Structure formats: C-alpha cells, structure tokens
C-alpha cells in the first residue's frame, strides 16, 4: 500500500493530468499555510480539531484561495474519501494520514464558507458520504443562515445515520446563528 503522502501526491498528479494542477498546488499551499497559522482547538464530539469559527484567514490564504480552489477542495475531499475506502483496515498509519488531510481541508472550508458559500454548500451533494459529513462539520464551525435551505435539502434525501447527525448539528447551529444565538424552537 502506498504511503499517505504518496496517495495525496498521486491524487494531486491526477488533477494535474486533468488540467487543474494550479488549483491543487494552491490548495496544498493554502492548507499548509492554514495549518501553520491557526492553532487546532478541540471541538465537540462530532468534530475534529478546528481553527476557530469566525477567525479571519491569514492574508496569504485569503488572497490565494478563490471560488475555484474552494470547489477543488470539495473534489479533493471526495478523492481522499475514495482513497480511504481503498486503504486496508489494518493500515492505521495511512488511515491517520488521510484523516489528518481531510481535517485540514475541512478546517479550510470552514474558513472559506463565508466567502464562497455556494462552493462549500455544493459539497452537501457529493456522492461520497464522508465528504458530506466533512462539509457539514465545516458549516457547523462557521454557521450561517444562508446554509439553512441547503442543509434542509440535504437532510431530506440523506439516509445514512452519521451523515444525518452531522447535518442536523450543522442545521441547529445555523438556526441558532440566524436567531441571534438563541436556541431554536
């Protein structure tokens, strides 16, 4: 089995062949910058370590990551989830590396949600269950009323329990944000 870094590099190489090399290089650089510029705080039981909702992006991340890169992050989450499915259950090291990569991209999506909400919300329609979960957790970190319709739509068609739990948590956070912090009825 290939090392996790090799999986990510292979995935990035596949994008290069399909014409999005520049986006993948930007995303990799942005993820590295974001991971260095933010401290990972522990979050609730559903979420992975986060960078803190509402925190401003560092200037280098803010400038380099546009709508196309945000959409490409969703694609990268899909590919990392495909790689996750290919990793043998006994290969915990590779699974850990893939998990950390997904966490970095999800934290980045949370930071980018306010600037590129439609690109982030598109991730709720991903065919990959784990991508939908990571996108929901990203929204949970940066709740916004504009996510409510997309979250309700995603919940209406979601059948997997873990996905539903993440979507419900994100929806509740967005409803609280929309009502000014009060608990929704």
Tally of structural domains, the chain: 1
pLDDT in tens, 11-63: 444 444 444 444 444 455 445 444 443 333 333 333 333 333 334 455 555 55
pTM strictly above 0.85: no
* pLDDT confidence of residue 59: 52
C-alpha separations of 58 from 37, 53, 78, 94, 111 in Å: 7, 14, 26, 29, 10
The model's confidence at residue 125, banded by pLDDT at 50, 70 and 90, is very high
Does residue 161 belong to any structural domain of this protein?
no
Q: Is residue 76 part of a domain?
A: yes
Please give the residue range of the domain that contains residue 56. Answer: 4-142
User: Measured between alpha carbons, how far is 185 from 177 in angstroms, rounded to an integer?
Assistant: 13
d(CA 146, CA 167): 14
Whether residue 137 is contained in a domain is answered as yes
Q: Rg of the chain over CA atoms, in angstroms?
A: 16
For the chain, what percentages of helix, strand and coil (3-state, to nearest 5) are there? 70, 0, 30
Residue 133 included in any domain: yes
């Amino acid at each position: 089995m290939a090392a996790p870094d090799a999986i990510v590099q292979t995935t990035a190489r596949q994008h290069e062949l399909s014409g999005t090399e520049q986006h993948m290089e930007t995303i990799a650089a942005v993820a590295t910058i974001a991971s260095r510029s933010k401290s990972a705080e522990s979050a609730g039981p559903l979420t992975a370590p986060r960078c803190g909702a509402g925190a401003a992006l560092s200037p280098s991340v803010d400038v380099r990551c546009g709508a196309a890169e945000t959409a490409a992050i969703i694609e990268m989450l899909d590919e990392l989830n495909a790689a996750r499915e290919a990793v043998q259950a006994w290969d915990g090291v590779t699974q850990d590396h893939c998990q950390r990569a997904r966490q970095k991209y999800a934290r980045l999506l949370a930071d980018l949600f306010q600037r590129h909400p439609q690109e982030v919300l598109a991730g709720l329609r991903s065919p990959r269950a784990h991508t939908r979960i990571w996108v929901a957790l990203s929204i949970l970190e940066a709740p916004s009323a504009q996510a409510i319709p997309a979250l309700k739509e995603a919940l209406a068609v979601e059948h997997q329990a873990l996905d539903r739990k993440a979507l419900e948590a994100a929806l509740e956070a967005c409803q609280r944000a929309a009502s000014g912090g009060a608990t929704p009825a």
